[in-house]
Amino acid sequence: DAKTTQPTSMDCAEGRAANLPCNHSTISGNEYVYWYRQIHSQGPQYIIHGLKNNETNEMASLIITEDRKSSTLILPHATLRDTAVYYCIAPEAGYSTLTFGKGTMLLVSP
Amino acid sequence: DAGVTQSPTHLIKTRGQHVTLRCSPISGHKSVSWYQQVLGQGPQFIFQYYEKEERGRGNFPDRFSARQFPNYSSELNVNALLLGDSALYLCASSAAPYTGELFFGEGSRLTVL
C-alpha cells in the first residue's frame, strides 16, 4: 500500500464544510484512494474512493490533485454526527487489503 | 438488506482459552476479511477469504485461523488466548476480492482476563 499521511486531529463548526487532507506522494498510477470513517465503537464505514478525477456521492466529495500526490475529503455541511476518525487509504492495486493508519480525528462542534 | 452481522458482540475469556467469532456477509458478497483493532489504533488486517479460499494473511501468529463456508459466512478462531488479544474484531465483506470498498460489521469485542 502507498503510505498516507493525515493530520492527527481537526475541528469544524457544525454547518460548515470540513476539508480533510491526505498526502500520498508514493501512490502508483493504478492505485485508488479510499476514504473510510469510524464513529466511536462502530465498524469503519466506506465513504468514497477515486483514481484521478474528482468524485462526489451523497456523503462527501473527493478532490485529487493532478499529480495524485494528495487528496482532500470534503464534507460540505458537517453535522455533529460526522464526528469520527477519518482514514485515507491507498491499497495495492488489485487487492482489497486495507492498511489503516491513525487517521484524522474530526470533531464537529455546535 | 441486512448488513454484515457478527456474533457475539461482546465476550470475556481467560488466558489460554479458545474463541470462535462468526460473521455473515452481505447477501451476494463472496469475499470476507477479518481485522483486529486494539484500543487507540486503526484496524489491522488478519485474513481475507474468497470463494472459501484464503486469499491473504496478515502478520498474525498461527494461533489465529479462519475459514469460509459454502454460504460465504466465516469464522475466526483464536487459540491459546493472550492478554494482548483483547481487541475489537471486525469482519468486512465485499462483492469482489480486488476492491477496496469493504462493508464492515459492528465487531466482536473480546476481553481476555
* Torsion (CA) A108, A69, B103, B21 in degrees, nearest 10: -100
- The string of pLDDT tens digits covering residues A86-100 is 999 988 877 778 999
Q: What percent of chain A has pLDDT over 90?
A: 78
| Non-local CB neighbours of A101 within 8 Å, separated by 6+ positions | A4, A5, A6, A87, A88, A89, B42
How many A×B Cβ pairs under 8 Å?
A: 61
Q: Which residue has the cell 476479511?
A: B33
Looking at chain B from residue 40 to 79, which residues have their Cβ under 8 Å from any Cβ of chain A?
41-45, 48, 56, 58
Predicted confidence band of residue A12 (pLDDT cuts 50, 70, 90): very high
The pLDDT value given to residue A30 = 86
**Cα angle: A108, vertex B4, B7; to 5 degrees:** 105
Q: Which residues of A touch B43 (CB under 8 A)?
A: 44, 98, 100
